[in-house]
Amino acid sequence: MTSPTVVACADRLEHAVRDRTPIEKLTASFPDLDVEMAYQVQAEVARRREAAGDPVVAAKLGLTSRAKQAQMNVDEPVYGVLHASAIHPVGEPIGVSDFIFPRVEPEIVFRLGDDLAGPGVSAADVIAATDSVSCGLEILDSRFTDYDFTAADVIADNTSAARVMVGPVMADPRDLDLALVGLLLEVDGEQVATAAGAATMGHPAHAVAIYVNFLARRGAHLAAGQLVFSGGLTKAVPLAAGSHVTATFAHLGSLTVTGV
Ligand code: 0L1
Ligand code: MG
């Protein structure tokens, strides 16, 4: 049976998304909410969305770079899921009023060709199981007042997942050193950050391997065909109406999101 705390937290998060209104962080009302229970809350909200016809189609890693960990004051990676409704068409603007605190971050996206199951998965195993890699943008949205949370809060909140975009270039990861793939992030033509793939735990495939081994401890795995967002390479930048955020990657092309 799902615990009353998990149900109550899932209810609050669902209402926050529906009403586009921030809520007090869950740990303020439920001080016993730990990381383990937070993943149960995340799974409960995902289960409800799937039951409503919105399947999980991708996985996401969060807080895999020091830039992101420092920005959010949480020093461990966190994991979430992406539903079909989260995949946003490239070139279509994002209505910022659909969200509470929309922010954007650049990521490297893996498209799996084979199932990936731990334990003992290495970065080389991840590369071997990957069909292609692309550039991506994640549009985050925290459901918590002042975008302030603990690790347990943000895990329960499905790691602030809101929307994602995937670039059209599909590169073979065997042809690239993903650790050295460079990235330039611009807001309205102004450079705001630079990074390389190594920002995500030394190598994006290493970050994915750690995630797959985490899943194995929970009796889960990644399936062929899934997309995996490997985590923001830079800190996230706010998305304002009328502004354009562009990420340009070496070898993987570029993506722009426009706020309206
Ligand atoms: O994708 C992420 O890094 C999500 C975890 C951090 C939460 C956030 O920045 O909203
Ligand atoms: Mg992210």
pLDDT at 75: 87
180 Cα–ligand 1 center, Å: 23
Cα(24)–Cα(147) distance, rounded to whole angstroms? 10
> Over pLDDT 70: what percentage of the chain?
100
220-259 as b/e: b if 16+ CB within 10 A: eebeeebbbbbbbbbbbbebeeebebbbbbeebebbbbeb
190 Cα–ligand 1 center, Å: 23
Can you tell me which atom of ligand 1 is nearest the CA of 142? Answer: 10
Ligand nearest to the CA of 164: 2
Query: Contact at 8 Å (CB) between 114 and 228?
Result: no
Q: Is residue 254 part of a domain?
A: no
Q: Is residue 63 part of a domain?
A: yes
CATH number for 38: 3.90.850.10
Q: What is the pLDDT of residues 80-135, one digit of tens each?
A: 999 999 999 999 999 999 999 999 999 999 999 999 999 999 999 999 999 999 99
Q: Is residue 256 part of a domain?
A: no
The protein residue whose alpha carbon is closest to atom 8 in ligand 1 is 160
Short-list 59, 38, 21, CA closest to 141: 21
Containing domain of residue 111, as a range? Answer: 4-88+105-172+199-233
Q: What is the pLDDT of residues 133-147, one digit of tens each?
A: 999 999 999 999 999
pLDDT higher than threshold 90 for residue 1: no
Short-list 198, 200, 194, 199, CA closest to 179: 198
62 Cα–ligand 1 center, Å: 5
Beta-carbon count within 10 A of 189 CB: 7
Can you tell me which atom of ligand 1 is nearest the CA of 141? Answer: 10
pLDDT at 215: 97
128 Cα–ligand 2 center, Å: 23
The mean pLDDT of 38-67, rounded to a whole number, is: 97
Tallying the residues shown for the chain, one arrives at 260
Q: Is residue 255 part of a domain?
A: no
Cα(121)–Cα(194) distance, rounded to whole angstroms? 29
pLDDT at 53: 98
Is the pTM value of this prediction over 0.95? yes
Token pair 């799974």 is found at: 43
What is the C-alpha end-to-end distance of the chain, expressed in Å? 43
Q: Is residue 187 part of a domain?
A: no
DSSP label at residue 89:
P
Q: Is residue 179 part of a domain?
A: no
231 Cα–ligand 2 center, Å: 4
- State which H helix or E strand residue 44 sits in: helix 35-51
pLDDT band at 187 (very low <50, low <70, confident <90, very high): very high
Pocket of ligand 1 (CB under 6 A): 60, 62-63, 68, 72, 78, 138, 140, 142, 154, 159-160, 231-232, 236
Beta-carbon count within 10 A of 97 CB: 11
The mean pLDDT of 213-226, rounded to a whole number, is: 97
257 Cα–ligand 2 center, Å: 15
The protein residue whose alpha carbon is closest to atom 10 in ligand 1 is 160
Round the CA-based radius of gyration of the chain to a whole number and report it. 17
Short-list 19, 76, 6, CA closest to 46: 6
In whole numbers, what is the pLDDT of the chain averaged over residues? Answer: 97
Q: Is residue 139 part of a domain?
A: yes
Total domains, the chain? 1
Concatenate the DSSP letters of all residues of 125-184 into one string: HHHHHEEEEEEEEEEE---BGGG---HHHHHHTGGGEEEEEE-S--B-GGGS-GGG-EEE
Cα(217)–Cα(199) distance, rounded to whole angstroms? 25
Q: Is residue 252 part of a domain?
A: no
Give me the torsion for CA of 231, 234, 240, 243, rounded to 10°: -110
Can you tell me which atom of ligand 1 is nearest the CA of 68? Answer: 3
Query: Contact at 8 Å (CB) between 74 and 142?
Result: no
Cα(138)–Cα(89) distance, rounded to whole angstroms? 12
